[in-house]
Amino acid sequence: MKRVTLFVNGTSSNGKVVALYGSLTDLLSVASSKLGIRASSVYNGTGGLIDDITLIRDDDVLYVSAGDSFDDPQDDPGCPDWFQTHTDWLTLNVGGCCFTTTRSTLVSKEPASMLAHMFRDKDVWGNKQDSQGAYLIDRSPGYFEPILNYLRHGQLIINDGINPLGVLEEARFFGIEQLAEQLEDLIKSSQPADDHSPLTRKEFVRFLLATPTKSELRCQGANLQGVKMLCSNAEGASLRGCNFEDPAGVKANMEGANLKGVDMEGSQMTGINLRVATLKNAKLKNCNLRGATLAGTDLENCDLSGCDLQEANLRGSNVKGAIFEEMLTPLHMSQSVR
């Protein structure tokens, strides 16, 4: 359900936050009750008369009139600084394509995102502008449009011909985590099912949670593409020959997991995140760990013989007693391990 903030026309104080439902007549009735006026018209922040409730977006700021014409609330000497962020219109030049939106759209829904930090406070980031005053952003406009629409109404809508992978990369770039998760799920659901896998990713996670003694866990040859097991406990489990590699580019994440003594021999683990995980006494022989993140990982007495560690990040990892014989790619100890 959408919510909006209502002010009496021409003012910027004593506003009321209300739920938006039904028709425009219903909104006027609620406004009359909350603001103590006979509401007859609703305006947006630039004075546009709203005659269709579907034009109103979540978290919009609206001005209710008893019949008089629009009176700009920013002329009110008591207008606070936060109020102007809701009515301040901006134009973004994204890769040569211009988008017009409000500052509130960019900062309200995802306050921790890069866009929110760029535009929350005026000129703090020193954003570059073109000759028309539009803020320059060097990204793909086709992939940016679904992100802007998501910030406007909270729905993920991707037009035909737009690759969700491109939108996912933009969402990650701008730090919009909730949208990135939705896109990952969308990409996953569009992948053809693998009827040859004995265990799916979701089944594995359910099995992991339901198995009290992890050493009894046997999931050999399972399809675990892009699985998320942050800080999970799979100590002593057998995951030989599993596939963690997702062709859609969504990387498996086992950051901080307890994988002591786990047997993952022969598994496909390209790009997997095992940062600060515990792999003491684990068997990773002949695994594909190309591009994997092993920073801060405990690899003490771990068998890494025959592994492909090209472009893997082992910075700060503990490799005491680890076996590296027959590795496909030489390990540059000075670059990455302690």
Coil vs helix vs strand at 284: coil
Structure tokens at 308: 């492909």
Question: Do the Cβ atoms of 242 and 222 come closer than 8 Å?
Answer: yes
N- to C-terminal Cα distance for the chain? 53
CA neighbor of 256 nearest in space, from 201, 206, 217, 294: 294
Q: What is the pTM of this model?
A: 0.39
Contact 304, 280 (CB under 8 A): no
Q: Which residue has the tokens 């973004």?
A: 92
pLDDT reported for residue 4: 84
- The predicted pLDDT at position 213 comes to 47
The tokens describing 299, both together, are 């690899």
Confidence at residue 301, expressed as pLDDT on a 0 to 100 scale: 93
Q: One digit per residue, pLDDT tens: the chain, 338 residues?
A: 677 889 899 887 788 888 888 999 999 999 999 999 999 999 988 788 999 998 887 778 899 999 889 888 765 555 555 445 455 788 999 999 999 888 888 888 888 899 888 888 766 566 788 888 889 999 999 999 999 999 988 889 998 889 999 999 999 999 999 999 999 998 888 765 544 444 455 555 555 555 444 445 666 777 888 788 778 788 888 888 888 887 777 788 888 888 899 999 999 999 999 999 999 999 998 999 989 999 899 999 999 988 988 888 988 899 999 988 754 444 443 334 54
Cβ proximity of 140 and 166 under 8 Å = yes
pLDDT of residue 297: 93
Counting Cβ atoms within 10 Å, is residue 211 exposed (0-12), middle (13-18) or buried (19+)?
Answer: middle
Beta strands in the chain (DSSP E): 2-8, 16-20, 41-43, 61-65, 89-94, 97-102, 135-137
